[in-house]
Amino acid sequence: MAVSHGSGSRSHPGRLGRWVGAALGVGAAAILMTFGGLAALAATTVNLSTATSFAVLAGTTVTNTGSSTISGDLGVDPGSAVTGAPLVEPPYSTFAADSVALQAQTHLTTAYNQAAGEGPATILTSVDLTNLTLTPGVYQSPSDGGLTINGPQNLTLSGAGVFIFQTGASQSLVTSTTSNVAYIDGASPCDVFWQVGSSATLDGPQFIGTVMASTSITVGSGVTVIGRLLAGTGDVTLISDTINASSCIAAASLPTPTATATPAAAATVPSSGAGGTSPFIGAGVLVTLGGLALLGAGAATGIIRRRRFPSV
């Protein structure tokens, strides 16, 4: 049954839809132009499975010089050599060319592929991460290349959430003797993952996170790593270093909460310390989403007003 309306004008649904779409598009474009694009999107924690308990894992050999201390399991497979007698602190153990090390290597491969596939990533504009403060998210090296931390200023990771750093195939991670990775405002070394397409060389006084290198990992003298060194096909080399994964192993052993946690939204990526210019393509996911929400609320209000109070 047709219902006639008064002679007053009423917006046509198609026109209203086009108006709402245009408003959202213009609002989004304005926000993006103002704030420089999108920040890093939230990352998913990497599932290490049986590799979780390993502080050091190699494919061929583990070579140590001096008095290195390892808080976490030490493993090697398919190789079996562990030289230089690094101290593996109790209650952790050494596994060489056995079923435990083999399974850990299998799960490392799965975890590596997961980390490499996370995204979409924020593309860094420089290979050097020195003097940057980053919030949780997925970060990828420029042109799918390698990453460096040259110091003397820190790379600072800020805020609770997962950090994943990706390099391209056959690319490296290199830190200098003056480099440090710091964490503040709820960030945890247990939530930091470095997916390295080839080999990693760590020379700075302090490094944090789980390094998953496709080939090998070399650590300079006297370096403290709060996290894990997991190498796929090559060796791990230590020189009087401290590798401490105990807090991350303990955290992974805690029961999973019954309540489903809401993933934390990614925060805006702060600018670099030099010049105040953002080093990323993108910033302001929260602002963008907030702006779109306001625009959507305005459009919805207009629709409700028309439905409740049609022109007569």
Q: Using one digit for the tens of pLDDT, what is the confidence trace for 99-131?
A: 999 999 999 999 999 999 999 999 999 999 999
Question: pLDDT at residue 293 above 60?
Answer: no
Report the b/e string of 275-294 with b at 16+ CB within 10 A.
Answer: eeebbbebbbbebbeebeee
Taking the model in full, what pTM does it have?
0.72
Would the pLDDT of 27 be above 70?
Answer: no
pLDDT confidence of residue 193: 98
pLDDT of residue 40: 60
Between CA 252 and CA 263 the distance in angstroms is 18
Of 66-75, 127-136, 158-167, 252-261, which gets the smallest average pLDDT? Answer: 252-261
Distance CA 4, CA 13 (A): 16
Q: Which residue has the tokens 């201390």?
A: 69
Q: Look at residue 53 and tell me whether its pLDDT is greater than 70.
A: yes
pLDDT in tens, 195-235: 999 999 999 999 999 999 999 999 999 999 999 999 999 99
Alpha helices in 79-227, H assignment, sequence order: 99-117
| pLDDT tier at 253, thresholds 50, 70, 90 | confident
List alpha helices for 129-203, DSSP H: none
State residue 42's pLDDT score: 80
- DSSP codes, 117-146: H--SPEEBS-SB-TT-EE-SEEEE-GGG--
Give the three-state DSSP class for 18: helix
Confidence of residue 275 (pLDDT cuts 50, 70, 90): very low
- Give tens-digit pLDDT for 156-178: 999 999 999 999 999 999 999 99
How confident is the model over 86-99, as a mean pLDDT? 98
Among residues 117, 101, 96, 94, the alpha carbon closest in space to that of 47 is found at 117
The Cα 274–Cα 126 span in angstroms is 13
Mean predicted confidence (pLDDT) in 242-270: 62
Give strand pairing partners of 229: 56, 211
Predicted local distance difference test score (pLDDT) of residue 306: 40
pLDDT band at 304 (very low <50, low <70, confident <90, very high): very low
Average pLDDT of the chain, as a whole number: 79
Q: CB neighbours (10 Å) of residue 252?
A: 15
CA distance 193 to 190: 8
**Gap between the Cα atoms of 234 and 246, Å rounded:** 24
2-31 as b/e: b if 16+ CB within 10 A: eeeeeeeeeeeeeeeeeebeeebeebeeeb
Does residue 219 contact residue 70 with C-beta atoms inside 8 Å? Answer: no
Provide the percentage of residues in the chain whose pLDDT is more than 70.
68
Q: Mean pLDDT, to the nearest integer, of 287-308? A: 42
Taking residues 124-145, what's their average pLDDT?
A: 96
